[in-house]
Amino acid sequence: MVVNTSRSLLYTLCREAVSFRSELRFYKSAFVSRQVFHCQRRTYSANGTKTSLSPNICSSLAGRSYKELYELSVEDPDTFWGSIAKERLLWNRPFDHVNNCDISTGRINWFPGGQLNVSVNCLDVHVAKHPNRVALVWERDEPGTEVNVTYRELLESTCRLANTLKRHGIHRGDRVAIYMPVSPLAVAAMLACARIGAVHTVVFAGFSAEALAGRIQDAQCKAVVTCNQGVRGGRVIELKATVDAAVKSCPSVRSVFVAQRTSNRVPMTGIDVLLEEEMAKEAADCSPEVMDSEDMLFMLYTSGSTGQPKGIVHTQAGYLLYASLTHQYVFDYRPGDVFGCVADIGWVTGHSYVVYGPLCNGATTVLFESTPVYPDPGRYWETVERLGINQFYGAPTAIRLLLKYEESWVKKYDRSSLKTLGSVGEPINHEAWEWFYNVVGDGRCPLVDTWWQTETGGVCIAPRPAEDGAEIIPAMAMRPFFGVQPALMDETGAAITGNDVSGALCISKPWPGMARTIYGDHQRFVDAYLKPYPGYYFTGDGAYRSKDGYYQITGRMDDVINISGHRLGTAEIEDALDEHPGVPETAVIGIPHDIKGEVPFAFVVLKEDDSLDHSVVIEDLRGLVATKIAKYAIPDHFLIVKRLPKTRSGKIMRRILRKVATDETSNLGDISTLDDPSVVTEIMQAYTRFKNQPAQKR
């Protein structure tokens, strides 16, 4: 069989990851994804808590068990998704078909012919039944200053904001960048775009002006919505100043809407609009645009293996349905619960489980503006007690940070409201899992390790839903969600059958929440996700299927790393570093870190120039990454080397760099394809000198 080169490369990487894992058996670091095969086989059935299926999936499917529903969802997706979509969403026009997908060409159409408005499904339908139910609890940076926003109030501010956008010339199909921390106005801005049929692209408010500008330019945004300043962990963040710097190179932007998060005045320019002042002049109702199921709802930029972030496109009906169904079933959300997802809206978790999923389900959703350690390491649990949070969904990196503190920071707060704990964004190691489950959850709340991606729209693999009393294995995503059929692929591109096997994680059938395209570059979408394994969606992750048929994610197979749950392509960092005039070449890899999961490690080649002061160059390089991407992307380590290990065809052999940077040079694997194998000794010597330096000089 002829093996597709990219696939074969991916598989090599996967195999490397697998052997890397077993080699790490003795490695002290708590880097988890790679400890999968030595997990304790302790299992948990959610003692005394309900694991039964949350009711009301829809009336025609009522009374079926999880197993029956899962089987139906994969054997007859049209009946499954069709019945649910009909009943759970409010349509202006019913859909003609449930799906019209061809995964090999990248035609992904769910509910064609159907028309609806997402903001109506998230707001108006609930206002009609319970206008005074709290939709948002804005947990502001200072503890005890939370603000409740009812469904009626959120609908009103959404409509005022929608009218403001329209008055400034934003119409259906226009793109709007939102550069704001999580707040009711940020949620209203997202929903206002949905109301008028504009497409939002939320940019994480920690990204630099250049990174923001790149996204605005790619999306050709007509407007930016931002705040004068942000507040986080007691510090003020100059958001408007960043937007000012960004829009200088963005001629498509006609208006910048500025909300006032603090009372400080910031310089305003000719295109700036004071958001609240303008909203106050507008009517509190706005007739919703009738959207086709497959019109764009939003795009969200994420990293791939090239230097250029990609605008992942999600559309209306399928995304909303998938976000709401996963929100209910993965977390066992029940009406009346207070749902606490502490993610930022700048990431997909914030989109699906702070905004769209919970609001579509009429939930009360928490907007967490602060940090896990502000003003002290008890912040999350004090918030749980004060707000009565029922589901707490967070990132392993925060858990790893918090478990280093005294348990009393958790124990002194009443956590009896908690029913489900959730983890997302990166592998959760056993120590963190056990601490989260036992210390935070007192061993009584099911803890769900949820695997998914910006591209999947919602959770695809998670311990829940499951049959009554079903086991939960620590640090394992375990079971596919309804409609999701995972497949593990081998190096020939064939699906691996049986259990106790590892391979490239693919999904074999389209599901309503999956991304539709990359904005402006459908071919890149097809090439990245659909071509490596024809007929399948390729996730970029490797996975292991256990003896019991459960899935465990083993980590990325490409050059994407995960820093504190933030996904970043090493190529993006390299592109930033390569801008330095004294630096002809760099290679960045991810290495394990006990709190952040992974951190970037940069190998840097300098121009032959004796006048270059290495420490000055490294400072410059740090500055470049902060300016071009974000502070969190700055490599933790810089190692100056004379050259990089390259194959004869000029490809950098990153595997060698990974081995060197993790002190695993006893088994370097095959280095015969290196152009000059002596480079390895050279790099190892440079690394030994580097390690022997005092930590602050590295």
Residues that bind ligand PRX (CB under 6 A): 33, 302, 347-349, 424-427, 449-454, 477, 539-541, 553, 556, 562, 567
Could you tell me which residues come within 8 angstroms of residue 269 by beta carbon, excluding any fewer than 6 positions away? 244, 256
Rounded CA-CA distance 84/100 in Å is 17
Rounded CA-CA distance 156/195 in Å is 12
CB of 368 to ligand PRX, least distance (A): 16
**Under 8 Å between Cβ of 294 and 262:** no
What residue number has its CB nearest to ligand PRX? 454
CB of 560 to ligand PRX, least distance (A): 7
Other CB atoms within 10 A of residue 697 CB: 9
Minimum CB distance to ligand PRX smaller for 328 or for 562: 562
Minimum CB distance to ligand PRX smaller for 563 or for 618: 563
CB of 225 to ligand PRX, least distance (A): 22
Minimum CB distance to ligand PRX smaller for 72 or for 478: 478
Based on C-alpha coordinates, what's the Rg of the chain?
25
Minimum CB distance to ligand PRX smaller for 477 or for 604: 477
Minimum CB distance to ligand PRX smaller for 417 or for 508: 508
DSSP string, 114-139: -EE-HHIIIIIHHHHH-TTSEEEEEE
Rounded CA-CA distance 247/253 in Å is 7
Residue 300 parent element (H or E) = strand 296-302
Residue 391 parent element (H or E) = strand 391-394
Minimum CB distance to ligand PRX smaller for 458 or for 645: 458
Rounded CA-CA distance 297/118 in Å is 8
CB of 562 to ligand PRX, least distance (A): 6
CB of 563 to ligand PRX, least distance (A): 11
- Return the bridge partners of 552, or none: 544
CB of 379 to ligand PRX, least distance (A): 22
From the number of C-beta atoms within 10 Å of its C-beta (0-12, 13-18, 19+), residue 602 rates as buried
Q: Token digits for 400?
A: 């790893």
CB of 114 to ligand PRX, least distance (A): 27
Rounded CA-CA distance 642/681 in Å is 12
Question: What secondary structure, in 3-state letters, does 239-291 show?
Answer: HHHHHHHHHCCCCCCCEEEEECCCCCCCCCCCCEEEHHHHHHHCCCCCCCCCE
Residue 424 parent element (H or E) = strand 420-424
Minimum CB distance to ligand PRX smaller for 204 or for 257: 204
Minimum CB distance to ligand PRX smaller for 409 or for 451: 451
CB of 37 to ligand PRX, least distance (A): 15
CB of 35 to ligand PRX, least distance (A): 12
Minimum CB distance to ligand PRX smaller for 9 or for 61: 9
